[in-house]
Structure 1
């Protein structure tokens, strides 16, 4: 399944859920790096304004309104990309919504609606993308979550949808590799990200939705997505906090259950420490667009050293070797200093002994 993957500056990239958050950050970053971008989302005004902004700065962008739950609308996005740019090279299934609340408090019709976007939206996008890329080669990137590996309370329905996305993506990848089709498939799994995610979520909890720390900037995910567009990986976890949850859940599942059941974990997701204005329910209608960041006061990590190390292992290895050499050199210098001090002490002792012996000699033999 060897095929040439174009440099980002030569690619056409389709991004769903591009009106805000990770999708918007990825579209803007891709355009700055020379890619032509097709922005797809329910919020027509937001993506059209974002496309105008990109073109104003010299980039190439096309906005196509799309509800990813509707297969026909997803196919319209692919057709628009073919008409405008002759096709596309990378397709990013990013659109998603969430529900906060205990599973028993969430109506089943809302669960189904969430799966229409989070799961069936990925299915629709993947089918359309593979139909096109299977003939010319390219990259399919699906947006999972660290909750694709470990479910959490309060976001149980969202976790279930992301588990389904991971299973679908893994199975699709194996089938494409078996059939030797020239499509690379990557699953990106972000940790908590500072986007309008919680503002757009449906809330059945007794409090204000929040994201457990550490919280990372949307650009950390955008960089991972664009890296995968040029250097496909099986999966990429963004943020060490999420990777820790993954490791703990795999190694100590019951202990992790107990930790998740503690009140502190629930309070991290639901609290009343800040005020929010009334917003549209993103489950049923599009949310506020053109905002990459959320509005909650929180500390945000602008970079993930863990993710960068995983994406660039050779550079990280060279830096580690350089750091080790510098540390070894630094540790050697005090040793030489200590040797000199010891030599000085020995010299002082010898000198003092010679002086005392001379003094004794003068006293014993003085005329």
Structure 2
């Protein structure tokens, strides 16, 4: 079936649904989208910070609606879908961002927690994507953005259930994109793959460790992921990775799978824990109840990268390629001109008009 033309609206004309909007990547995306003029439907489990964030945005003159929603519950996602359409009439971009995790070995993480991770991280993406597709089929199309992870390509110790869920997100996103292409639906589907990001992610995760968890370096700013999401909302693209480490891990896994497993086993476990003993008191239990106070960044990161060269390349690779071709063309023309001038100079040097001399023939007899 012929693919319908995908018409992507500018952000100032978009209605955007964002799940997991009360912290980290979701909150950073909401703030940037609101500043760009988008009308927002914000979803999360935690009512108090969710409504406070929506109120802050409205006080700044933005349009924002808060909807309490557990994305692992299909009925609640259908309610989110209906609320978005009833409030604004359509949905242009739907961002499936909500996610949870647990630190520990497979033997230590209870199966109930592993199932809960899949309910949110995988089934939440499925519920949101299907809801978005229903709405977008009835209108002129739209954009579905699913937030995966660098761990969509490479599993690591101590976060195996999370990595498995993100692998499933990648497979589902690729399959959804192909099905929509097959039926000709004008819907763009993008997978975002962040590496370690400066968010409260580890503070919200369950942790079955004796030491405090941490993000493996290098750590990137959450605003970079928000930038990637908003780029996907206005530019048709398959995948955007945030952080060069994402590409390096993927390449290593494909080119040297055995070495990649060995490095992962020896290195990535230690990179995820600090030397600080983990305290008790029921901390890090965001799997079964909402936690967090509505903040974008983690307060304990020592150094955070504010720029991703690899993301910049992905966003502007066409312009960069055209620019390089143009530069190569100009260099070729300049070289041709230099050669032409050099030839002219040599020609004028060896063909100057000479004073004619009369030579007498020497008589040989």
TM-score, with structure 1 as normaliser = 0.85
Q: How do residues 263-302 of structure 1 correspond to structure 2 at under 5 angstroms? A: 264-273=267-276, 279=283, 281-302=285-306
CA contact (8 A) 1:194 1:215 kept: yes
What is the alpha-carbon distance in structure 1 between the residues aligned to residue 12 and residue 105 of structure 2?
A: 45
What is the alpha-carbon distance in structure 1 between the residues aligned to residue 302 and residue 217 of structure 2?
A: 9
Give the superposition deviation at 1:217: 0.4
CA contact (8 A) 1:274 1:296 kept: no
Question: Could you tell me which residue of structure 2 aligns to residue 346 of structure 1?
Answer: none
Query: Which runs of structure 1 show a deviation greater than 6 angstroms over 4 or more consecutive aligned residues?
Result: 274-277, 321-327
Give the superposition deviation at 1:205: 2.1
Question: Could you tell me which residue of structure 2 aligns to residue 58 of structure 1?
Answer: 61
Question: Could you tell me which residue of structure 1 aligns to residue 233 of structure 2?
Answer: 229
CA contact (8 A) 1:78 1:87 kept: no
CA contact (8 A) 2:209 2:278 kept: no
Question: Could you tell me which residue of structure 2 aligns to residue 333 of structure 1?
Answer: none
Give the superposition deviation at 1:144: 0.5
What is the alpha-carbon distance in structure 1 between the residues aligned to residue 6 and residue 122 of structure 2?
A: 28
For each residue in 1:297-324, what CA deviation from the matched residue of structure 2 results, as whole angstroms up to 9, or x when unmatched? 3210011121011111134346667999
Q: How do residues 182-221 of structure 1 correspond to structure 2 at under 5 angstroms? A: 182-221=186-225
What is the alpha-carbon distance in structure 1 between the residues aligned to residue 5 and residue 329 of structure 2?
A: 38
Give the superposition deviation at 1:183: 1.2
For each residue in 1:105-149, what CA deviation from the matched residue of structure 2 results, as whole angstroms up to 9, or x when unmatched? 111111111111001111111111111111211000111000000
Q: Which moved more, 1:316-325 or 1:15-24?
A: 316-325
What is the alpha-carbon distance in structure 1 between the residues aligned to residue 129 and residue 182 of structure 2?
A: 17
What is the alpha-carbon distance in structure 2 between the residues aligned to residue 113 and residue 54 of structure 1?
A: 31
Instruction: State whether structure 2 residue 92 is matched by structure 1 residue 89.
Output: yes
Q: Which has the higher helix share?
A: 1
Question: Could you tell me which residue of structure 2 aligns to residue 75 of structure 1?
Answer: 78
Tell me the SS of whatever aligns to 1:105.
coil
| Distance verdict in 2 for CA 1:50–1:322, change over 3 Å | farther
What is the alpha-carbon distance in structure 2 between the residues aligned to residue 281 and residue 142 of structure 1?
A: 24
Question: Could you tell me which residue of structure 1 aligns to residue 47 of structure 2?
Answer: 44
Give the superposition deviation at 1:12: 0.3
Instruction: State whether structure 2 residue 116 is matched by structure 1 residue 113.
Output: yes
For each residue in 1:44-95, what CA deviation from the matched residue of structure 2 results, as whole angstroms up to 9, or x when unmatched? 1111111111111121111100000111111111111112111211100000
TM-score, with structure 2 as normaliser = 0.85
| Distance verdict in 2 for CA 1:127–1:211, change over 3 Å | same
**What is the root-mean-square deviation of aligned Cα atoms in Å?**
2.2
What is the alpha-carbon distance in structure 1 between the residues aligned to residue 150 and residue 72 of structure 2?
A: 23
Count of residue correspondences:
327
